[in-house]
Structure 1
């Protein structure tokens, strides 16, 4: 019996290691793909006839490049506490409104479909944490495996609830074996009630 458990544990560790390798390789490919795109933008900027406009665009690209190369893996110490939170929700679920309220304490009802990445400092048991919020339409497994998760739907929109249940099934199918207890919350937005309170 002990031998069987040892084999199972070894197989689980091997699967997790293989998954880590795939994620590392994926991150390397993502990182290395950015600069060729930036270089192509610089080439296109050189074709802009209006020098003033070209210089303005070039400066914005420089700002983007600096922000990219100074991302947290290069600038923050490894002792920084992080919380990684994913937010899923279909169109008209008002997930963007929920995120906007959490970040700004104001409600914004423009439910933008493009999503985004957000950071906020939060206090947990007296300790400062960097909260990373990832909101996007993708349902790829590498988005689902490393996150605590909110799945948002509108209480007055049945389709958004059905979409939320589909997302929940998808998440459960892609969770690694060692992450069975990672929190997943279904959040129902009562839009008109919130608007009244606001």
Structure 2
């Protein structure tokens, strides 16, 4: 396949996804929810925090790239709703309302917001799909839209269930700093997905 055929195929596939029927988009949202659930099983627990390192954030970031704001966001809502009610596919094969409302509650909410934001930018600004620009967009989604509600939720969980008010340093050590290196890898990986698979016009 020459470069022109590659660009043409990439654009056609992207447009077919965008123009797919509602039923097809719902199916793709469910499939992305499944991928998120599968990647959530890649877990590295940390002894000083209830928040583990997982691979699911990569799926969250990619959901907006491939499905856009509406259905990317829906995929994460499905992931959460099904994890609460039917499928124990939160980190470490856990599920239920108690897990959802636990120490990672804010991160779950951040997944929905981040997916919507990435999908919005991807749909509206074709030139933003380049590696460097999308790395910035995804970086904002990851470190602001996921971590701000995530850290707020962790602080609230600690105050309510543990009776402890976390200092800023403790909160960052429990919910942000240990994850930065891995998140940079995920951000660069998702930006690479955008560069390879998404048209720039």
TM (normalized to structure 1)? 0.23
TM (normalized to structure 2)? 0.23
| Structure with the larger strand share | 1
| Structure with the larger helix share | 2
Kindly indicate whether structure 1 or structure 2 has the higher relative contact order, using CA contacts under 8 Å at least 6 residues apart.
2
Larger Rg: 1
